[in-house]
Amino acid sequence: MSEQKPTIIIADDHPILLKGLSDFLSDLGYFILGTATDGLSALNLIKEFSPDLAILDMEMPKMTGLEIAAKCQNEKIQTKIILLTFHKELYLYQQAKELNLSGYILKDFALDDLSTAISKIMEGGQFFSEKIFDELKEDGMDQNENPLTPSEVKILRLIALGLSTKEIAGKLFISERTIEKHRSNMISKLNLEKKHNSLLIWAQKNKEIIN
């Protein structure tokens, strides 16, 4: 008796990539229940069909992959979720872990990783692209020299450009509250005055450290 393949929905706002993923998985014998080009449509498909697995682009119109994952978690929807992304930043990986995502796969290696990821996830495991960890090691600052995490450095770079908390939150797909928490932590770590522009002044004076 052959192993039963999981039912899947796929969402990506790039039609060529969406078709490529659908064709690739169909050729491997997976049953694609539906596809979507925006996050809201993807969420509606998940609610309508209750697929075993949803493969979602991180960045889509109307709702991001992370927002869909958070919605599914809040509503106790059992569909397992894999996020596809070009982003290798630590804070996104951490957020994916907090949302208990089943997979986090870099688009550059999606066709190489997907089949293995699906098998592992349907057996109850998780799958995160190995290249994420390689990038984090290369991108991380020496913690002995600087107490800031890679996530905080990323935010500081945007602060140095003059972006507001709201703009940074929108750019990084995380809440304003999370950005404010990072701001507070950085002010403490860097022993700065608790003023609104203290991080901006520090970031502009220390660009060589955060770039």
Count CB neighbours of 188 within 10 A: 11
Q: Which amino acid is at 193?
A: E
More confident residue, 93 or 149: 149
Considering the entire predicted model, what is its pTM? Answer: 0.64
Query: How many domains are contained in the chain?
Result: 2
Same domain, 150 and 104: no
- Residue 9, pLDDT > 60, answer yes
Domain end among 107, 135, 163: 135
193 band by pLDDT with thresholds 50, 70 and 90: confident
The pLDDT value given to residue 130: 74
| DSSP designation for 143 | T
Whether residue 2 is contained in a domain is answered as: no
CA atoms of 163 and 182, how far apart (whole Å): 15
State pLDDT tens for residues 10-58: 999 999 989 999 999 999 999 999 999 999 999 999 999 999 999 999 8
Most confident of 1-5, 84-88, 158-162: 158-162
pLDDT digits 0-9 by tens, 62-74: 999 989 999 998 9
Domain containing residue 129: 7-135
What is the per-residue pLDDT across 146-177, written as a single tens digit (0 to 9) for each? Answer: 567 878 888 888 888 888 899 998 888 888 88
Residue 1 forms part of a structural domain: no
Q: Are residues 42 and 18 in the same domain?
A: yes
Domain of residue 108, CATH code: 3.40.50.2300
Residues 98-137 pLDDT 10s: 787 899 888 888 888 899 999 999 999 988 887 665 654 4
Q: Helices 130-139 and 90-98 meet at what angle, rounded to 10?
A: 140
Q: Half-sphere exposure (CA, 13 Å, Cβ side) for 206?
A: 15
Specify the higher pLDDT residue, 162 or 90. 162
pLDDT average, residue stretch 194-198: 78
Q: Residue 208 has what pLDDT?
A: 63
Confidence of residue 139 (pLDDT cuts 50, 70, 90): very low
Q: Classify residue 51 by burial, with Cβ atoms within 10 Å: 0-12, 13-18, 19+.
A: buried
**Both 103 and 182 in a single domain?**
no
